Amino acid sequence: MDEVRLSSFIESLEQPKDPVLENIRKEALQKDVPVIRPETEALLVFFLKAFKPERILEIGCAVGYSACVMAYTCPEAGIDTMENYAPRIPEARANFEKAGLSSRVTLYEGDASEILPDLTGPYDFIFMDAAKGQYIHWLQDCERLLRPGGLLFADNVLSGGDILEARTTVDRRNRTIHKRMRDFLYEIKHSSHWESAVIPVGDGVSVSLKQ
């Protein structure tokens, strides 16, 4: 199966987006800022509409595109997000302003590993989309912060399929990232604290219900 063609086909089924969102996405891509893939976004929006969360936490804001998508999808929700790469922070704030969302989105500046322990739940929904090698380390905080029955939606969990590659064929840095991601996937699938499914959409998504 040709995954690139399949992905383009799925993308071609998408409806045109809100022009404000489209513009934020376009500008981000022009500057090589990573944003959620369209087919992953469709799945995220699907879960948000099914879940109707009131409090959403995002780990990995970049310039705020997915936070705007989540805020538009859940018009009553408050969203907390975080970003540690300084140049992206003013851009994210400008995008929240442009989208009329500054009052509903709180952007924490800094490293998720330092921010998460200070946050207080409960959140209904967590979107994890930052350093892949850290997912396993952030899992405990996600569990603490989610309400029972809350959903953890994690992106990039299959590294676009690279996670399947043999240990010896990937460089040392990616070897560590892949090992930690496999640990994350093992934990969410085997722990009695989570009910999880791994979905090969985009770079791979996992969805986990806190038991």
- Binding stretches for ligand SAM (CB under 6 A): 34-36, 60, 62, 65-66, 82-85, 88, 111-113, 129-131, 134
- The amino acid present at 134, given as its one-letter code, is Q
Residue nearest to ligand SAM (CB): 60
How many residues does the structure list for the chain? 211
We find the least distance from the C-beta atom of residue 168 to ligand SAM, in angstroms, to be 27
Shortest Cβ 154–ligand SAM spacing (Å): 11
CB of 97 to ligand SAM, least distance (A): 16
CA distances in angstroms from 78 to 11, 68, 115, listed in the order given: 28, 11, 17
Could you tell me the smallest distance in angstroms from the CB atom of residue 77 to ligand SAM? 16
* Distance of alpha carbon 70 from alpha carbon 44, whole angstroms: 8
- Residue number, 20 or 195, with CB nearest to ligand SAM: 20
Q: State which residue, 23 or 195, has the beta carbon closest to ligand SAM.
A: 23
CB of 82 or CB of 188, closer to ligand SAM: 82
Cis peptide before 122 (omega within 30 of 0): yes
Shortest Å, Cβ 110 to ligand SAM: 7
Element (H, E) at 207: strand 205-210
> In the complex with ligand SAM, which residue's Cβ is closer, 115 or 185?
115
Strands of 34-184 (E only): list them.
55-59, 78-83, 105-109, 123-128, 146-155
DSSP 17-46: PPHHHHHHHHHHHHTT-----HHHHHHHHH
In whole angstroms, the minimum distance from the beta carbon of 202 to ligand SAM comes to 11
Non-local (6+) Cβ contacts of 139 within 8 A are 184, 187, 188
End-to-end CA distance of the chain: 36
Q: Which is nearer to ligand SAM, 109 or 187 (CB)?
A: 109
Pick the closer one to ligand SAM by CB: 50 or 86: 86
